[in-house]
Amino acid sequence: MTAELRWAGPADYPALAQLMFDTVHNSDSPYDERQRRAWVPAPRSGPEWEQRLAAQDIVLAEAGGEAVGFMSLAERGYVDFAYIRPEAQGSGLFRRMYRLIEERARARGDRLLWVHASLMAQPAFAAVGFTVRHRESVEIGGETLDRFEMEKPLAAS
């Protein structure tokens, strides 16, 4: 699958919400159905969603006019979102989006990137140089989900 990458804007927010919902609910996952429903019960929308995204740099991947992946960079080097539709997983898309996120982080002077990686995302982040700070469990919607807090120092270029 060949995907084009671009920076997302407000008109893309509904597609990002749908992509996130579809990915959580339709990917092979170590999380059970109850955990996935608690994590993303419906596609996100509304002012809180829009404000959260507006404060971030978001790389959007599109193939055939459809959003197939996105990754975002929030304040202080935090990688907030990283989702790829099942049909695009394993295509190198994660690495391509991550390169743009790291370039943006370096350009704005971030010295460290960090993320709360799901059990599904942890291997992809490890493959681009992140290390686990610690494994943690979080309560979301009455369900416990395990994840990893990971980091990657950015060496001066």
* pLDDT at residue number 157: 58
Distance from the Cα of residue 137 to its chain's centroid: 18
Tell me the fold of 4-153. Aminopeptidase (3.40.630)
Amino acid at 92: G
Question: How is residue 16 written in tokens?
Answer: 């990002």
Q: Look at residue 155 in the predicted model and tell me its pLDDT.
A: 80
pLDDT tens profile 112-149:
999 999 999 999 999 999 999 999 999 999 999 999 99
| pLDDT tens, residue by residue, 21-63 | 999 999 999 999 999 999 999 999 999 999 999 999 999 999 9
Note the pLDDT tens digit of each residue in 80-117: 999 999 999 999 999 999 999 999 999 999 999 999 99
What's the predicted TM-score (pTM) here? 0.95
Give residue 133's pLDDT: 97
Could you give the CA distance from residue 9 to residue 114 in angstroms, rounded to a whole number? Answer: 23
pLDDT band at 2 (very low <50, low <70, confident <90, very high): confident
Q: What is the b/e burial string over 93-123, where b = at least 16 CB atoms within 10 angstroms of the residue's CB?
A: bbeebbebbbeebeeeebeebbbebbebbbe
Mean pLDDT of 67-86: 97
The whole-number pLDDT of residue 97 equals 98
